[in-house]
Amino acid sequence: MTMDLPVWAALLTGFLVLLGAGLTLIGTIGLLRLPSFYERMHAPTLGSTWGTAGILLGSIVFFSVMQSRPILHEVLIAAFVTATTPVTLMLLARAALYRDRTEGSTAVPRRFSSHQEDAG
């Protein structure tokens, strides 16, 4: 199927895709192993930053060499993932903090004295 692909491109694509998949897997292993929620919160960012970037770069290399024109759909996905992951994580962190505080947990810091209007 991919006979006309040069070896360097195959090696580069393979390396990038494996790098991305490996980082994503390490991130999810973190999700499994880490003891508390706030620590686990850091783990999936591996998959959503360089995990995604690795696979997208591999795909850019592959499709550019195969069809000898740059494919820019990946840029769209990259931009979208970069813009959305922080938002979801921030919302989740705040929701978890809110829940822990209403339950009176001592593991989380108390709220800043004057609250209500938050940015971000």
Partner 1 sequence: MSRVLPYPLLTASLLAMWLLLNGTSVGQLLLGTAIALAASRLMVALQPSKPRLKGWYLLPKLVAIVVADIWRSNIAVARLILRRDQSRRMSGFIVVPLDLRDPTGLAILACIVTSTPGTAWVEYSSTESKLLLHVFDLVDEAYWIDLIKSRYERLLLDILT
Partner 2 sequence: MSASILFWSLLIAQILLGIAIAITAYRIMRGPRAQDRILSLDALYVNVMLLLLVFGIKTESTLYFEAALVIALLGFVATVALAKFLMRGEVIE
The 3-state secondary structure of 17-69 reads: HHHHHHHHHHHHHHHHHCCCHHHHCCCHHHHHHHHHHHHHHHHHHHHHHHHCC
State the residue for tokens 């978890």.
96
- Which of partner 2, partner 1, none binds 111 (CB below 5-8 Å, type-dependent)? partner 1
**Residue written as tokens 């508390």?**
36
**Closer CB to partner 1, 30 or 58, in the complex:** 30
Residues 6 or more apart whose Cβ sits within 8 Å of residue 15: 58
Exactly one of 12, 26, 65, 66 binds partner 1 (CB under 8 A); that residue is 26
Q: Is residue 45 involved in binding partner 1 (CB under 8 A)?
A: yes
What distance in Å separates the CA atoms of residue 80 and residue 103, rounded to the nearest whole number?
Answer: 35
79 near partner 2, judged by CB under 8 A: no
The 2-41 contact track toward partner 2, x by CB under 8 A, reads: xx-xxx-xxx-xxx-xx-xxx-xx-xxx-xx----x--xx
Q: Residue 19, Cβ neighbours under 10 Å: how many?
A: 17
Nearer of residues 53 and 61 to partner 1, judged by Cβ: 53
**Interface contacts to partner 1, rule CB under 8 A:** 23, 26-27, 29-30, 33-36, 38-39, 41-43, 45-46, 48-50, 72-73, 75-76, 82-83, 85-87, 89-90, 93-94, 97, 108-109, 111-115, 117-120
